[in-house]
A = this chain, B = another copy of it.
Amino acid sequence: MSNAPIEFFFDFSSPYGFLAARKIDALAAEFGREVVWKPYLMGVAMKQTQVAPLLTIPLKGDYAYRDVMRHCSHEGLEGKIPGQFPFISVAAARAFYALADEDVAAAKALAHALYARAFLEGQSIAKPEEVLAVAEDLGHERESLSAKMNSPETKDRLRAEVDATLERGIFGSPFIIVDGEPFWGYDRLGDIREWLERGGW
């Protein structure tokens, strides 16, 4: 039985990514697995799939909104969607990678806080200053984090992560890979549990 890390791909603008982020580490830990978090920019894949952002699609958008709220309520949460939606999540993803190499736990904590700001408070996390404000609340030093977010290293890192998702056929959020097996969607956490329990199906 493998104990390779699980890969968790998500977009900070994805409410289903928000919901999955609250559960994936605990689920993996039950099976002695780590989770590598990989924020990326879903919009780049959407240009290939030519699919519009979910909440903007006629019929599907109404359903998805209801479904997101229903799942939040199932988790005891009152979900909100930021007024400006969908939004660009480049700043949030850069902030994550600016922290991740030195301190994965800090990067994950920031991700949780950013997601909560967006989907529990309904506030924007699109702008760099909005991302930095959330980071400051967690004790990060604004100027140095801002410098890191804007460094060529961080920009290249995010670009490389996005390129890698395209090459690997990753296109949604959450998109979770367990031992090479891809699972797309918050509603697949049950499948992932079963896969981990049985080491396949």
Find out whether the CB atom of B51 lies under 8 angstroms from the CB atom of A60. Answer: yes
> Does A29 make an interface contact (CB < 8 A)?
no
Find out whether the CB atom of A191 lies under 8 angstroms from the CB atom of B187. Answer: yes
User: What separation, in Å, do the CA atoms of A50 and B53 have in the docked complex?
Assistant: 12
The size class of the interface chain A forms with chain B is 20 to 34
> Does A184 make an interface contact (CB < 8 A)?
yes
Of A66-74, A116-124, A128-136, which stretch is located at the interface?
Answer: A66-74
> Does A156 make an interface contact (CB < 8 A)?
no
**Residues of A166-193 contacting chain B, CB below 8 A:** 169-172, 181-182, 184-185, 187-188, 190-191
Find out whether the CB atom of A201 lies under 8 angstroms from the CB atom of B49. Answer: no
**Residues of A153-168 contacting chain B, CB below 8 A:** none
Taken residue by residue from 42 to 74, chain A's Cβ proximity to chain B (1 for < 8 Å, 0 otherwise) reads as 000100111110000111101100110010011
Most buried by B among A48, A50, A63: A63
Contacting residues, chain B, for A187 (C-beta < 8 A): 185, 187-188, 190-191
Contacting residues, chain B, for A181 (C-beta < 8 A): 70
Candidates B49, B63, B73, B188; contact of A59 at CB < 8 Å: B49
Which 6 pairs across A and B sit closest by C-beta, in order of nearness? A59-B171, A187-B187, A74-B201, A48-B58, A59-B169, A49-B57
Please give the residue numbers on chain A whose beta carbons come within 8 Å of chain B beta carbons, in ascending order. 45, 48-52, 57-60, 62-63, 66-67, 70, 73-74, 169-172, 181-182, 184-185, 187-188, 190-191, 201
Supplied contacts A49-B60, A74-B201, 18 more A-B pairs, CB within 8 Å: A48-B58, A49-B58, A49-B59, A50-B57, A50-B58, A51-B51, A51-B57, A63-B169, A63-B182, A63-B184, A67-B184, A70-B181, A73-B201, A185-B187, A187-B187, A187-B188, A187-B190, A190-B190
